[in-house]
Amino acid sequence: MLSRCCTQGFPALLLSGSPLAAGDPARWEKVHLVDRTRYEQAADRGVAWLTAWLGDDGSYGPKADDLACYYKSPYLFALSGQTRQAIQLLEFIRRRFMRPDHDFVTAAHHKSDNAAFNEYWAYPNGWLAIGAQRLGRFDIAYPAFEYLRLGHEPVRGGFLTGGPSASREGETDALTTAHLGLVCLYFGDLPKARGAGRWLVRLLTLQPDPRAGLFLRLDRSGQLVRHIPPGKAAFYVVSVQEPDQAYFMIGYPIAFLAKLYEATADETYLTAARDYLDFAICCDGNLRSSPASHKVAWAAAVLARITRDPHCTELAITIADHLLAIQDPTGAWLIDQPAHTTFDQTAEISIWLLEISAELATLQ
């Protein structure tokens, strides 16, 4: 079990400089309710920006000819009540990106121009499987899920980073395992979801010094991967001290483990979710002001709903407020980045703002 590295003094540390710092419950409730509305409005602007690009064929046009521009959009449009547009998008994705083996790729042997998805091969597929499942498009959802199941490593419960076509001797990682573990929950495959939870719990026990960082991968023998290839540190470790880390690598395990706890009532998973959150809070970089922290905000909101812990609520609100502050006036996020990043992150941040709003609404 990961020791709690910086829990002493949390109330003063977390609430300092926050609108919640005054400790006035009435003031807390007012800030909370107003910010919920702002989150939904910001997400609406993101949806409107994406909708403006959407053509009659279900595509975002010729400048958005990359899987990374699309894979989160069906989930977002379903979540925001735009079912017709979500189905249009799914139909285009099926025609343009789905392959006979039920994988999704931009081109043969090329997942996306976003190099991270060539590393985390199955990650976009998981979003599409969930989106299709939520929309009742089982003709897309179940084939997509059957493909993803092939990447499960049954001995330790993780999912292969390189996807089902990777070597059975390949590495497993926290992001892929948490993401596909959640996919398993959506499809009712509780044994594999539990396996993913078991993998994430074990990852915590193997950490040599969580006060310095958290290693994200296990090798084929089930041991930590501590040798980091040049230029790929973000894929292998989250540092406590350094800024601009891939904080979403920590956020997804928190949220998945919390939801796995709800599905199983097994306190082991809730404890692990709290331990991952403790690590995230200890990060001294820019976790609270990084666009890469969106999944941490979602995860903190999930834990806030389950545990009623005000520290979780404060963390979710602080990060979500920053996401609002960096939204472009057009409604998009990261507008200065390549199209595959702008479309991807506009969809994702809109999703998490809606999910955060829903999770925090239960605290009224």
Asked if 322 contacts 38 with a C-beta cutoff of 8 angstroms, the reply is no
Return the pLDDT at 313.
96
Buried b or exposed e, range 300-324, using 16+ CB within 10 angstroms:
bbbbbbbbebbbbbbbbbbbbbbbb
> What single DSSP character describes residue 351?
H
Phi, psi of 239 (to 5 degrees): -85, 145
First-to-last alpha carbon distance for the chain, in angstroms, is: 33
How far apart (Å, rounded) are the C-alpha atoms in residues 68 and 95?
Answer: 15
Asked if 15 contacts 21 with a C-beta cutoff of 8 angstroms, the reply is yes
The secondary structure of 9-58, three-state, reads CHHHHHHCCCCCCCCCHHHHHHHHHHHHHHHHHHHHHHHHHHHHHCCCCC
Asked if 127 contacts 75 with a C-beta cutoff of 8 angstroms, the reply is yes
Q: Is pTM beyond 0.75 here?
A: yes
Secondary structure (3-state) at 261: helix
Return the pLDDT at 169.
58
Q: What angle do CA 74, 77, 81 make, to 5 degrees?
A: 140
Return the pLDDT at 22.
38
DSSP codes joined into one string, 107-144: BTTB--SSHHHHHSTTHHHHHHHHHHHHTT-HHHHHHH
Return the pLDDT at 165.
83
Paired tokens of 166: 């990777």
List the domain boundaries for the chain: 1-53+286-364
Return the pLDDT at 8.
39
Q: Taking Cα atoms as reference points, which of 87, 307, 120, 140 lies closest to residue 232?
A: 120
Instruction: Count how many residues are written for the chain.
Output: 364
Q: Which residues contact 103 (CB under 8 A, 6 or more apart)?
A: 125, 147, 163, 164, 165
Q: Cα dist. 102→24, 144, 200, 252 in Å?
A: 53, 5, 27, 24
Q: pLDDT tens, position by position, for the chain (364 residues)?
A: 444 444 433 333 323 334 443 344 444 444 444 445 799 999 999 999 999 999 999 999 999 999 999 999 999 999 999 999 999 999 999 999 999 999 999 999 999 999 999 999 999 999 999 999 999 999 999 999 999 999 999 999 999 999 998 765 589 999 999 999 999 999 999 999 999 999 999 999 999 999 999 999 999 999 999 999 999 999 999 999 999 999 999 999 999 999 999 999 999 999 999 999 999 999 988 999 999 999 999 999 999 999 999 999 999 999 999 999 999 999 999 999 999 999 999 999 999 999 999 999 988 7
DSSP codes joined into one string, 264-324: H--HHHHHHHHHHHHHHHH--SSGGG-GGGHHHHHHHHHHHHHH--HHHHHHHHHHHHHHH
